[in-house]
Chains A and B, each alone.
Chain A
Amino acid sequence: MAMGMAVDTVGELGFPYWNPIRRRFSPDSPFFASGNVERELLAKQVALDLTQDEINHLQKFVETESRRISCPIVGCPERLKSLDHFEDHYNARHTASCSVCSRVYPTSRLLSIHISEAHDSFFQAKVARGYDMYECLVEGCGLKFKSYKARHRHLIDKHKFPSTFEFFKKTQLSKKRREKLQRQHVSRLKHEEDKEAASSDAMEVEDKASVDGLVSALSTLTTSDTTPSNVSFGRRHGRVLTFVPRSVHKEKRTESSSAPGPTN
């Protein structure tokens, strides 16, 4: 029985294109579970004098019981009760944001690596003096390297990061993209402008772009065949589940996420 989409027609990118196929489910498939529950509840409704409210409540209960959502972020063991809970968890735990350039990372470790490499002149000073400053991004590896390139090579050789991956992108973000970011982060506008205009610190720009690129093939991840060349390291904006304007939402979230509390 075909369940969902098979990885069928795959083009030059290796992308599994949308291919319409019929989906058939067996009678005990979870797909039919809520209908089955509804059947049994309705059948007993008269005999046990259930109100429609009770039925709705029971339906909801049975559904949420069985369907916990596992957080899909690498290394995160959380299982959440509902989509809303998931969104809350994601925003509280996986959106560590850099106060300097507002980039967002899924773990505090990566955030701190970013901050050191991109915003810390002390870090740059040590690099200049030949210390092994560039940490391997894969948690638990522990190795450090003298240069960005060396770490990159290590990631490819040891941790199977894609070799076609280009770190040293001179790419500026497209003007369009920058404009959009400005619109959305008026308060951080100045930082952005300064960072991107400052051409003096070529190393930093390079680092930013390279760290940007790096993250796509992250931590415990193995082979990603292609990585976006100019994608930012982590997300820049908070995401919105309900349609609240981004800046408002993000501000709310960062306030509450500074001390990540216990999740459900």
Chain B
Amino acid sequence: MADDGSASNRRDPIKSSVGHVAGQRRRQQAVTVAKERRELLVRAKRLCRVGTNGDVEDSLVENEMMIDEEQPILEAQASKSVEELKSAVQYQGKGAMQKRVTALRELRRILSKSEFPPVEAALSAGAIPLLVQCLSFGSPDEQLLESAWCLTNIAAGKPEETKALLPALPLLIAHLGEKSSAPVAEQCAWAIGNVAGEGEDLRNVLLSQGALPSLARMIFPDKGSTVRTAAWALSNLIKGPESKAAAQLVKVDGILDAIFRHLKKTDEETATEIAWIIVYLSALSDIATSMLLKGGILQLLIERLANSNSLQLLIPVLRSVGNFVAVDPKAILTILIREQNTEESIIGVLAKCLRSEHRVLKKEAAWVLSNIAAGSIEHKRMIHSTEVMPLLLRLLSTSPFDIRKEVAYVLGNLCVESAEGDRKPGIIQEHLVSIVRGGCLPGFIELVRSPDIEAARLGLQFIELVLRGMPNGEGPKLVEGEDGIDAMERFQFHENEELRVMANSLVDKYFGEDYGIDE
């Protein structure tokens, strides 16, 4: 962080020009800080401010101001503290252990105080080898805990900083074992979770060093914060994009039982992390998917969707449902047939998500519905006869673009039978008519105008359905009435050839020479 020294706070008229420069610098710094803060917030890593042993850092206070003025102070403190740790580690005499723990605790405090711990300073001063030493087998719990805590926060920041933990990984993994005390194991899991959250390469290192089985075992107990932290770390570890970790996890004896147990009963925070594990299992491992489905995971997920209002939980649960539906439509057929239109039916919970104010839920719920609507005629009829229809039509006109696109998929899928062979897919006129009468045309024509190729394509395809499938040849009139011709003519200058051809062929066929001639 730039040193913004002297002219910071004083309002001295004589020094106003200097103050102006300092003000500019601070604004610049604020921009940099804001950017770093955004990156920090979006990372899959988590800073530890409250220890797993319950220890609360007492100077967890006024963070924004700290950055500007105290950062250099913090960095100096970090270096100093590492120096003290070094001498504590070297010291062999009486009270050596206490000295080490005191030094570690001091460093840990410094690394936990602010949103931007002075990691770089600590690393430059040589913290890692010392911390690794403090992790050696047979060390007292307190020492292990403080050391792991320091490593956790070192790994919570930039990629280079996280990578610095490489030498510590074997020991961190070792202390996940069942012989370790719970707080120690949890703190190590936390550090490992941060490392796994960095990227694929580090995940592979952790996997090859055997982190997965040990972490997996940590979620077997019924409750406790350890379960939650380990589940989160596990979700970071298996997120791929390669599927081998997910495939490995599902083979761990007892893991599926633990997952089912937690999904059914545990508190929402833990269930959230478990749900993320399910997200990755269902997205990456076919074996996991079929085993989970066979065990009845879908019903449990639907129950959670029905009963919870925690956005944190709903996101991964909904996405898991989406992943299952995308892979195996037969699985949902049983659920669908069983209970329709009740709160606890799949349609019911998807409607609840569509009604929510959260963008992610609306978008992904529409995605799930679009996949259900891509199924058999029974699936389509089922959706069409429920409360979701008015919701979808309203969303098509009013919601943000990414939601409208998904809704378009649902509505279109409802109107068309799945194609057999090369024939033109048949239109389900009843559905098409009711959806068009429900006022969907403006929304689709809006998509045609969009610069997004996929959306424009969808819009044109739907217009084709309307032109072809509306009874009594109403289609062209309806499309024209909503300025559809206009929208299609836009493609004359569009760089995408396929869309040009599509638009032109529609205009040619349906708005050709004879159009309107008899009137």
Spell out A's residues near B (CB within 8 Å). Answer: 4-5, 7-9, 11, 13-28, 31-32, 34-35, 37-44, 47-48, 50, 58-59, 61-62, 69-75, 80, 83, 86, 94, 106-107, 169, 171, 174-177, 180, 215-216, 218-219, 221-232, 234-237, 239, 241
Contact = CB atoms under 8 A, between A and B. Distances in A.
Contacts of B14: none
17 contacts: A15-B505, A15-B506, A17-B416, A17-B419, A18-B415, A18-B425, A21-B418, A23-B409, A24-B327, A26-B283, A28-B240, A42-B312, A62-B42, A74-B493, A175-B519, A226-B508, A230-B513
Contact of B493 (A14, A20, A28, A218): A218
A229 B506 contact: no
Given A16-B461, A23-B367, A44-B46, A70 B512 contact: no
A19 B425 contact: yes
B513 A225 contact: no
Given A22-B374, A231-B492, A14 B516 contact: no
A231 B489 contact: yes
B44 interface: yes
B360 interface: yes
Contacts of B374: 20-22
Given A23-B326, A215-B492, A223 B515 contact: no
Contacts of B115: 48
A241 B464 CA distance: 22
Contacts of A44: 41, 46-47
Given A23-B371, A24-B327, A13 B311 contact: no
A261 B145 CA distance: 61
Interface of B: 38, 41-44, 46-47, 49, 63, 115, 239-241, 276, 279-280, 283-284, 311-312, 315-316, 319, 323, 325-327, 329, 358-360, 363-364, 367, 370-371, 373-375, 401-402, 409, 412-413, 415-419, 422-425, 449-454, 457-458, 461-462, 464-465, 480, 483, 485-490, 492-498, 500-509, 511-513, 515-517, 519
Given A83-B401, A83-B450, A40 B501 contact: no
Contacts of B503: 228
Given A15-B464, A40-B41, A72-B495, A235 B501 contact: no
A228 B489 contact: yes
A161 B422 CA distance: 29
Contacts of A61: 38
Given A218-B492, A230-B511, A230-B513, 5 more contacts: A9-B424, A15-B506, A23-B371, A39-B276, A231-B504
A217 to B, nearest CB: 8
Contacts of A74: 493-495
A14 B460 CA distance: 13
Contact of A4 (B449, B454, B519): B454
B486 A71 contact: no
A36 B461 CA distance: 31
B42 A41 contact: yes
The 8 lowest CB-CB distance pairs between A and B, nearest first, are A174-B516, A176-B516, A228-B507, A20-B374, A20-B413, A106-B493, A24-B326, A18-B461
Nearest to A76: B495
A226 B419 contact: no
Contacts of A235: 486, 489-490
B41 A41 contact: yes
Given A42-B311, A74-B493, A175-B516, A35 B487 contact: no
A9 to B, nearest CB: 5
Given A24-B327, A40-B42, A226-B505, A17 B493 contact: no
A132 to B, nearest CB: 26
A222 B453 CA distance: 19
Looking at chain A's contact residues, the main secondary structure is loop
A229 B513 contact: yes
A14 B422 CA distance: 12
Nearest to A50: B41
A174 B517 contact: yes
Contact of A171 (B276, B311, B496, B513): B513
Nearest to B380: A20
A243 to B, nearest CB: 9
Contacts of A43: 46, 312
Nearest to B517: A174
Nearest to B446: A241
Given A8-B419, A27-B241, A39 B312 contact: yes
A20 B489 contact: no
Choose among B312, B425, B489, B496 the residue with the greatest number of A CB atoms under 10 Å from its CB: B489
A104 to B, nearest CB: 9
A138 to B, nearest CB: 13
Contacts of A21: 374, 418
Contacts of A171: 513
Contacts of B422: 9
Contacts of B488: 228
Contacts of B449: 239, 241
A19 B276 contact: no
Contacts of B375: 22
Contact of B451 (A62, A69, A75, A176): A69
A17 B363 CA distance: 24
A36 B511 CA distance: 45
B516 A47 contact: no
Given A39-B276, A176-B519, A17 B42 contact: no
